[in-house]
Amino acid sequence: MSNSALSDTVFQTYLDAPTSPKLALPAKSCDAHVHVFGPRAHFPFSPNRKITPADAPKEKLFALHKRLGIERCVIVQSVVHGYDNSVVEDAIAAGGGNYLGVALVDVDVSNQELKRLSSRGFRALRFHFMKHISAGYDVKQVLQLTFRLAEVGMHLQVHFESELVHTIGVALLDSAVPVVIDHMGRVDATLGENHTDFQALMRLLDNSNFYVKVSGIDRIESNAHAGSGYPMGTQLAARLVTNFPEQCVWGLDWPHPNHTHIPDDGELVDALSKIAPTSEALKNILVNNPHNLYRFEN
């Protein structure tokens, strides 16, 4: 697709007015996976992006969180902005200590830049191994980088297709820092919890160095749509929370790029009543675990 074609087609990826959730969230609840896009007039999109989403600036994100009862957040740099992390850095600075970040960089990032990112509130680096996003990275190079991440107090976040849990996932056992797996390893929820990919994901989590985001219930269930309740994705998320209560964090994945439909953020919050059905479980994944993993200071 040419850059001009990208500029001509803008995709809306989020609802301006999601439903208000019925579930009341505990104080200091954290949404550990969102993005910000633009505004393009101030933060240009990467020429290598696959789509052009509508602007989803920090002001929209802050308003959404206020509506949903979310006080803390981790903003993940998107490929929409490439390696220029300034859009996330700007949102962190405006977040009053309640917003932190995950950066995108190349594997040869300098030590000076790692220290700078850490000082600006970035707690991790994210690497994609998804075919639809990029050709992926050499996991050996990423593992070498983890030794430098340890020196600046950052961890590793990875996004991979479910079958890669058996290869990329296993290789990451050698990471020098904690590893956070995005969106439940993108397993196919329709295959159930006994499928080999989900079982391999749980074996990784037997290692306390691994964490998982119980986000993406709306992504891992084929033919899912807003209003469905995402029962299959919710069931897998609940299993992870039950089995690994101290290694799960949660996120909306707003503003829902590269998706089959536009989820209702209020519905995603209400799904937490099934994912973490006790007050203890809910506080773990929304408050305690993200506080410990991301080191919120206030």
How many CA atoms does the CB half-sphere of 206 hold within 13 Å? 8
Instruction: Decide: 146 and 119 in contact? Cβ < 8 Å.
Output: no
Instruction: Decide: 247 and 205 in contact? Cβ < 8 Å.
Output: yes
How far apart CA 191 and CA 232 sit, in angstroms, is 9
Determine whether 51 is exposed, middle or buried from the number of CB atoms within 10 Å of its CB (0-12, 13-18, 19+). Answer: middle
Ramachandran angles phi, psi of 248, nearest 5°: -115, 135
- Give the single-character DSSP code of 55: P
Q: Is 270 a catalytic residue?
A: no
SS (H, E, C) 127-171: EEECCCCCCCCCHHHHHHHHHHHHHCCCEEEEEECHHHHHCHHHH
How far apart CA 285 and CA 212 sit, in angstroms, is 10
147-170 burial, b at 16+ Cβ within 10 Å, e below that, comes to ebbeebebbbbbbbbbbbbeebbe
Instruction: Decide: 105 and 113 in contact? Cβ < 8 Å.
Output: yes
Ramachandran angles phi, psi of 143, nearest 5°: -65, -40
Query: Of 55, 197, 218, 253, which one is the catalytic site residue?
Result: 253
How far apart CA 251 and CA 183 sit, in angstroms, is 9
Composition of the chain by helix, strand, coil, percent to 5:
40, 15, 45
- Provide the annotated active-site residues: 253
